[in-house]
Amino acid sequence: MTVNKLYGICMLIMSGLIMACSNSFLAAGDPENVKPKTHEGIDYNAQQPETGDVTKQLELFRSKTENGDPDFGSKVLIFDDSMDMKKIQAALDAVHGQQKYNQFTAERYAFLFKPGKYSLTVNVDYYVQAAGLGMLPGDVVIAGAVQSKVVTRNNNVTTMFWRSAENMLVDARKKSYWAVSQAAPLRRMHIKNDLQFDMGGWASGGYLANSIVEGEAGSFTGQQWLTRNSRFDRWFGVNWNATFVGVENAPQDKWGDRPYTVIEETPIIREKPFLAIDKEGRYGVFVPDIEKDVKGVSWGNGREQGSFFSINEFYIAKPLVDSAATINAALKTGKHLLLTPGVYKTDEAIQVSNPHTIILGLGLATIMPQTGKPALLTADVDGIIVAGIIIDAGPVNSPVLFQMGKRGCANDHARHPATIHDVYCRVGGPAAASADICVEINSNNVIADHLWLWRADHGVDATWKDTRSKNGIIVNGDDVTIYGLFNEHFQEYQTLWNGERGETYFYQCEIPYDPPSQQQWSSGTTPGYAGYKVAAGVQQHKAFGLGIYSFFHNEMILENAIETPQGDGIEITHTVNFSARKGGIRHHLNGDGVSTYNLPAGARFYKWPGEGQ
């Protein structure tokens, strides 16, 4: 095996300990502080539908065809800078008041800003997407703030999920805060001031892509972070695993001293498509071209290579109107699909068979199968794009939630790869649910750009028995590349990679908290299931910046955080293991690396013997 700067960092936090780490700190102790189940006594599970007061505040801004806008439904709010800023602010504040702690609600919103300048504070909460409709970030200027600042007890933001801000210039009067964890990306943003990803307590995210920060960016308390194709003046902090791919002014790669992994150029990427208004005032979706070996943002010179698709080429689906049958009928005619905000409870799979089809969600649109069928199936054809959706497991077990290409498919898509952007799968949380596999990639040459796959560790009936799922992701296709793979709590292998020449850039994984016994959680005679598994027989594989953690409720052992075949074609660069509460992880990779199991109280950093000297 080729080991390229393969160091292990092993850590244990004991109850009540305050850990100093890389000139930052983490408030440690009971893992309930790491993943709290309530915010200040507010029940996560309480459904809070839109109130009459919120409805009144929003009515002026809901998508209306008489204003020349497409009919995006009642949960899309469209603003232009000729409107009364106080009334816009009141509408934004009404949604903020409703959604700030509303973790498991069916409410979804998209805030869309037409090109212009706005004096506003835009709070982005659960199930809210705030996005500019310009062709460039500078077309929409927010003089004020675009932020996520809501905190829990001890200033935790470890459960600030499912939100996004995209395609705006923020002329900030002071430091900006995007205090989040998983499934909360910043994309195509231009922020004129410093940017901080925590509020002083635990943070566990997140993702910054294709953005410019005119100041310093980072987190004092964040556990991990991925930055891709961006630029800032200076980076600070992040405690366990910070990865930079194609980033200008990235910090020095100093793994073991600082937890930084730096890849100078992004080998292949398509930036996420976005809804926009062109210079003629027409709505459409801009799809950036595939790029290779790139550094920095795609829009830095004031233009961007790609294609603009008229909104008339899309079927605009609405959750209270459409079924899988109506959506599939539109897809068969050659339409692209725009999913407006809401939860789509389907009785059959949404099926994509035409090449180059675009599936784009607004406001974290959610698909939830009800009858044990998959949520989304794609054929093994060129250039399919899936972006901006949540897929929830339903009450009847699905064999797979999102399958790209049928099993056994073998077509070459090197010229026109399929791409996946900001797709999040959940098994449990809002309700007990089950699915064998969240994501299965069978097609070759797929590029995935930010996935969070989550078997619920909190929520309704989030137990080993009631919330069932074996695998977060299985990759059977060859030449698959993933940037930002977050994958947590599944009951067998979190990631199982069977395809050749796979590449992962940043991996965050929490092993399940809740195995009831070692006997029930062992792969044959091996204790536990590896957090990242490359199957026997794979000849070539690369992975960079992998963090795998355990917070077992019971005394439990994970033998290996990572398991791979041996060979010169296998490269694993930079790993970190962390354990708290009970049990731990014996080895980083294939029986090597220092154990986090039964360490004495305290935090320790280790380099693997003979590496990085």
Could you tell me if residue 193 is left (phi over 0), alpha (psi between -120 and 50 degrees) or otherwise beta?
left
From residue 73, alpha-carbon distances to 110, 198, 313, 326, 398 in Å are: 10, 34, 18, 17, 29
| 31 SS3 class | helix
CA 30 to chain centre: 26
- The angle formed by the CA atoms of residues 547, 490 and 525, to the nearest 5 degrees, is 90
Question: What is the phi/psi pair of residue 65, to 5°?
Answer: -70, -30
Closest alpha carbon to 456 in 435, 426, 491, 436 = 426
How far apart CA 255 and CA 260 sit, in angstroms, is: 5
Q: Which pair of structure tokens corresponds to residue 481?
A: 């590349």
- Answer positive or negative: Cα dihedral of 320, 326, 332, 334: negative
Q: Where are the beta strands (DSSP E) in 69-205?
A: 76-79, 109-113, 116-118, 121-123, 128-132, 140-147, 163-172, 176-177, 186-191, 195-196
What are the structure tokens assigned to 438, written together?
């969240």
Q: How many CB atoms lie within 10 A of CB 612?
A: 12
Conformational region of residue 154, where left means phi above 0, alpha means psi within -120 to 50, and beta covers everything else: left
Instruction: State which H helix or E strand residue 403 sits in.
Output: strand 398-404
> Is residue 438 within a helix (H) or strand (E), and if so which, with residue range?
strand 435-441
- Distances from the Cα of 380 to the Cα of 144, 420, 571, 585, angstroms: 45, 14, 28, 38
Q: What share of the chain is helix, strand, coil (3-state, %, to 5)?
A: 10, 45, 45
Q: Which amino acid is residue 354, in one-letter code? A: N
Q: Catalytic residues, which ones?
A: 510
The two beta strands, 336-339 and 314-317, are parallel
CB 602 within 8 A of CB 6: no
Are the beta carbons of 554 and 582 closer than 8 angstroms? yes
Q: How far apart are CA 557 and CA 550, in angstroms?
A: 9
The position carrying tokens 């009450």 is 395
Could you give the CA distance from residue 403 to residue 399 in angstroms, rounded to a whole number?
10
DSSP assigned state of 388: E
Angle at 48 between CA 167 and CA 182, to 5 degrees: 40
